[in-house]
């Protein structure tokens, strides 16, 4: 469900915590709010689920004003991971996650199945953890339970306030990876608050940069990195952001289908010359990947020597563009094949694609 914030303002007494912000939050995408402490990120999230009443402006869900929606119903349709996690200490993991499904009157059996499913989703062993109390969990485990709890009733929207803040860098990285996988499956509209630009770039489809209650810039993650609008934004994203993003971009999303592939047994000089790309991928009789050769190399070789000279480097769809760039730079080439687990050619990653604007 898309959310629109329109000229949204929040004043606490004389202090303006959120100052006239306008933002479109895209359906089924992760929108990251980033900015220094006290810039109004949490306040913005809480206005979205009505925990804080706005002073001015409006919020629309699917074009419907928040004023026309019952706040209790709204909150049950929005999963909320609060900054402090806020698990209920007197309830075990099961009971914590079951709260909203119970409020919605789900049957016990359905709840049970859902909780098992959710715990696996956030990578917690259900048997080991379901009867543990919050005090018996580590910080990272608590945050996972917090995320599972927010997802429990399959909400259309997720508001996540620094959900991985309390976790050490290594586990944070793992949780982020898990989170990306989860979002790939569930495709929720997510508003994700963070302090950490690396996290923002990794997770965000879009980023909104907040500063003292205002939005400095918002847009697709790539736009923000390519064209920071001002000093504040460019300082925030730092110097190597562009290279850093490669690490977070999956190869499968940048596959170029325009490639040349021929069966090695059917290849003759003319057929190869006709191929319009500068590289040719060779296949066996079952259309499985064998290797790749540049046209320049092909012209130096006789047909029977192709097989011996094939370059067999490739990447898999779940590799990152950084992997692709690494191969390109070390081998001095500008095309890397993407090969499926079944050895089929899915396409190629080209140098231009990697460094092109999205």
Partner 1 sequence: MENFIKYITRNYEIIIKELLNHLSIIGIALPFAVIIGVSVGIIIAGKPKISKIIIYISGMFMTIPSPALFGIMIILLAPFNAGLGKPPAVIALIIYSLLPMIRNTVNAVNSLDHNIIEAAEGMGMKNYQILIKIRIPLALPLIMSGIRSSVVMGVGVATIGYYIAAGGLGYFIFAGLSRSRFEMILTGVILTAALGIFLNYFILKLEDIITPKGLKISGE
- Nearer to partner 1 by C-beta: 75 or 202? 75
From the list partner 1, Mg ion, ligand ATP, none, which binds 37 (C-beta under 5 to 8 Å, kind-based)? ligand ATP
- Angle between helix axes 108-121 and 139-151 (nearest 10 degrees) is 130
* Residue listed under structure tokens 């934004």: 233
Q: Which one of Mg ion, ligand ATP, partner 1, none interacts with residue 135, CB within 5 to 8 A by kind? A: partner 1
- In the complex with partner 1, which residue's Cβ is closer, 72 or 341? 72
Q: Return the residue nearest ligand ATP (CB atom).
A: 42
The binding site for partner 1 (CB under 8 A) comprises 46, 49, 51, 71-76, 78, 80, 82-92, 99-100, 103, 133-136, 149
Of 133 and 313, which has the nearer Cβ to partner 1? 133
Among 3, 8, 17, 283, binds ligand ATP (CB under 6 A): 17
Closest residue to Mg ion in the complex (CB): 42
Whether the Cβ atoms of residue 355 and residue 225 lie closer than 8 Å to each other: no
Distance in Å from the first CA to the final CA of the chain: 24
User: Which span (40-48, 118-126, 258-266, 305-313) binds ligand ATP, by CB under 6 A?
Assistant: 40-48
Query: Which parts of 195-234 interact with ligand ATP (CB under 6 A)?
Result: 195
Does the protein bind ligand ATP through residue 337 (CB under 6 A)? no
Q: Which is nearer to partner 1, 51 or 246 (CB)?
A: 51
Tell me which of partner 1, ligand ATP, Mg ion, none is bound by residue 90, counting a contact when its beta carbon lies within the kind-specific cut-off of 5 to 8 angstroms.
Answer: partner 1
Reported in sequence order, the residue ranges of 188-302 that DSSP labels E, i.e. its strands, are: 189-194, 206-211, 214-220, 261-263, 279-283, 289-294
For residue 2, with 0-12 CB atoms within 10 Å meaning exposed, 13-18 middle and 19 or more buried, which class applies?
Answer: middle
Q: Which stretch binds ligand ATP (CB under 6 A): 32-40, 109-117, 319-327, 330-338?
A: 32-40
Token representation of residue 177: 């990876």
89 vs 332, beta carbon nearer partner 1 = 89
Instruction: Tell me the torsion sign for CA atoms 242, 243, 249, 251.
Output: positive
Closest approach of Cβ 84 to partner 1, in Å? 4
Binder among 3, 30, 40, 209 for ligand ATP (CB under 6 A): 40
| Residue 166 and residue 143 in contact, taking contact as beta carbons nearer than 8 Å | yes
327 binds, options Mg ion, partner 1, ligand ATP, none, Cβ within 5 to 8 A by partner type: none
CB 200 to Mg ion: min, Å? 14
The residue behind tokens 């191929």 is: 275
Out of 7, 22, 38, 58, the residue judged to bind ligand ATP by CB under 6 A:
38
Q: Which of residues 41-60 bind Mg ion (CB under 5 A)?
A: 42
Q: What is the CA radius of gyration of the chain?
A: 25
Smallest gap from Cβ 165 to ligand ATP, in A, equals 9
Q: 338 with 252: CB under 8 angstroms?
A: yes
Structure tokens at 116: 């098992």
The 10 Å CB-count burial string (b at 16+, else e) for 312-327 is eebbeeebbbbbbbeb
* Nearest-approach distance from CB 212 to partner 1, in angstroms: 24
Closest distance to partner 1 from the beta carbon of 333 (Å) = 52
The gap from C-alpha 245 to its chain's centroid, in whole angstroms, comes to 12
User: Under rule CB under 6 A, which residues in 52-91 are in contact with ligand ATP?
Assistant: 83
What does DSSP assign to residue 154? Answer: -
**What is the C-alpha separation between 78 and 49, in angstroms, rounded?**
7
Q: Is residue 290 within 8 Å of 264, Cβ to Cβ?
A: yes
In 3D space, the residue among 301, 293, 291 whose CA is nearest the CA of residue 277 turns out to be: 293
Of 41 and 202, the one with the shorter C-beta distance to partner 1 is: 41
Residue 76, burial from CB neighbour count under 10 angstroms (0-12, 13-18, 19+)? middle
Chain residues in the site for Mg ion (CB under 5 A): 42, 83
Chain residues in the site for ligand ATP (CB under 6 A): 12, 15, 17, 37-43, 83, 195
């Amino acid at each position: 469900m898309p959310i629109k914030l329109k000229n949204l303002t929040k004043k606490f007494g004389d202090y303006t915590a959120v100052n006239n912000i306008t933002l479109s939050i895209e359906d089924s995408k992760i929108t990251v709010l980033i900015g220094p402490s006290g810039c109004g990120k949490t306040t913005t999230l809480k206005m979205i689920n009505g925990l804080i009443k706005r002073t001015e402006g409006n919020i629309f869900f699917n074009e419907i004003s928040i004023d026309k929606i019952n706040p209790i119903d709204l909150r049950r349709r929005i999963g909320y991971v609060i900054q402090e996690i806020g698990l209920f200490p007197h309830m075990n993991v099961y009971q914590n996650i079951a709260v909203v499904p119970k409020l919605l009157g789900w049957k016990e059996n359905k709840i049970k199945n859902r909780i098992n499913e959710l715990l696996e989703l956030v990578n917690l062993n259900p048997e080991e953890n379901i009867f543990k109390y919050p005090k018996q969990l580590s910080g990272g485990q608590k945050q996972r339970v917090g995320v599972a709890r927010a997802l429990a009733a399959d909400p259309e929207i997720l508001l996540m306030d620094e959900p991985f803040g309390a976790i050490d860098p290594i586990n944070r990285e793992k949780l982020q990876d898990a989170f990306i996988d989860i979002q790939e499956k569930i495709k929720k509209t997510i508003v994700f608050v963070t302090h950490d630009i690396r996290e923002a770039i990794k997770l965000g489809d879009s980023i909104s940069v907040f500063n003292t209650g205002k939005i400095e810039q918002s847009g697709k993650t790539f736009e923000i990195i390519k064209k920071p609008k001002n000093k504040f934004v460019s300082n925030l994203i730092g110097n190597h952001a562009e290279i850093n993003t490669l690490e977070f971009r999956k190869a499968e999303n940048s596959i170029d289908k325009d490639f040349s592939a021929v069966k090695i047994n059917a290849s003759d000089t003319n057929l190869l010359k006709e191929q319009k790309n500068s590289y040719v991928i060779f296949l066996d009789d079952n259309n499985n990947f064998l290797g790749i050769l540049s046209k320049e190399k092909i012209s130096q070789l006789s047909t029977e020597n192709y097989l011996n000279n094939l370059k067999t480097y490739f990447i898999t769809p779940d590799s990152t563009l950084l992997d692709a760039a690494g191969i390109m730079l070390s081998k001095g080439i500008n095309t890397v094949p993407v090969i499926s687990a079944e050895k089929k050619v899915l396409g190629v990653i080209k140098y231009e694609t990697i460094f092109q604007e999205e």
